[in-house]
Structure 1
Amino acid sequence: MEYIIKEEKGFKYIEEGKGDVLLLLHGLMGALSNWEKVIEEFKDRYTIVIPMLPIYDLPLLTTGVKTLSKYVHKFIKFKDYQQVTLLGNSLGGHVGLIYTLSHQEYVKALVLTGSSGLYENAFGGSFPKRESYDFIKEKVQFTFYDPETATKELIDDVYATVNDRHKVIRILAMAKSAIRHNMGKDLNNIKIPVSLIWGKNDKITPPEVAVEFNELLPNCELNWVDKCGHAPMMEQPKEFNIFLNKFLQKNNI
């Protein structure tokens, strides 16, 4: 399904539906299409908003998770949202955590899936060999429990990205920033409701990461998705949406 990307005041974003705002944050290699099934399921009851994070547009010296968090705040202020429910996958979850720590009054609840912030095994522990299509294919498949989830279109997108020198330098800078910015000591300060929806077979942020998040976040629930890797909203969207819906209903969102 094609969605209109709006462009206003330097922001690019998708905005669909009506109601309370669900603000979706994509990962480092994530595309807006990653959230397609969430948009379809919830747009009749909520305003679904996906800002395009400017991962490739920042000056190299300021490329990092904190800068993306500041960008999210500028976007929320620009849209005049009073309170949002943040959903973040992978790097997007990490950005959501940093944002929530600084601006808890703007966040009703937080949903993390395959979030970085404590530990991640980016690119399967190895540097992206830029020229090798087969290597990139293998690493994209590594993201999922079922390798077939990695469509040719997805692999082609990642291959094009890591073969763009400008982009790959920023990907590596952002990944290093995420590793440096460990959230372990700060999570007890996040008091709002948090739902972890985690792939039981996630090899990038393995199950023990979710267990640790659950222990450190004071108001948290942990939901496991079977036969699922790093992106449950893509690989097992039905189960993801069931957990998300229950969480939203439980917290009167």
Structure 2
Amino acid sequence: MFIVSVCSLKGGVGKTSVTLGLASAALHQGVNTLVIDLDPQGDTTLGLLGETATGPDVAEVLTSPRTETVDRAIRPTPWSKEESSHLDVIPGSARSSMMDSPAPSPRELRRLRDALDKRTHQYDLVLIDCPPSLNGLTQTALAASDRSLVVAEPGFFAVTAADRALKLSAEMREEGLAPRLIPLGLVVNRYRPRSVEHQYRLAELRDLFGDIVLEPVIEERVGLQQAQGGAVPLHRYEGASGKRLTEDFDALLRTVLDSRQLS
């Protein structure tokens, strides 16, 4: 089981969109996947289920990281109907915001990792959609993860935000709080190729971070929002921009899975 956190320092950069795009690519490529919605807003849950969830959720898993709790919280998604692989979700919960301490204890940081170690369901990939901050919930996700993806948009604050998020992953590994974690890189999202400002900011990110800026850059296309609004996988979206988006997320998923060889 390969665990990847998708995180950001600030909201509005499309972190959930990247998570859902990767989930759609995984389903399309036959990769059995679990998505964990750690964002108290629950947008990933809504995108995968088409409705807010009831019953056990991620807050209950973090409160009681036992086998029966995590197994009850896992929900199959409508996305995986009639598919050879499966895509499940542990739903998000507003209650999880109560656990988003700016200074979590080492014991609190281990809760998600402990819960995942005790599950009975088997997965090839776990994607964790983190809150738009670097507080306790994001740190809990990183502590459980093998890789971290930082999502940023090509804007004025992108450099500082990306640098802080990448440094947090490195610091947690060095301090032994996330022993398996390797920062994978920076996903630039919502890029508008005709925008001079976006061209400048993308070049700035590449100059500063080099190969850490991953390819492909995800362009801002209406198809991504329309697929999410319909709660359908991007790979089933039939709009004009669907093919380019699916190609981009297929390529990004390959980069993620290929990174399993890193140590």
Shorter-chain TM-score category? 0.3 to 0.5
- Bigger RCO (CA 8 Å, 6+ sep): 2
TM-score, normalization by structure 1: 0.41
TM-score, normalization by structure 2: 0.40
Between Structure 1 and Structure 2, the one with more strand by share is 1
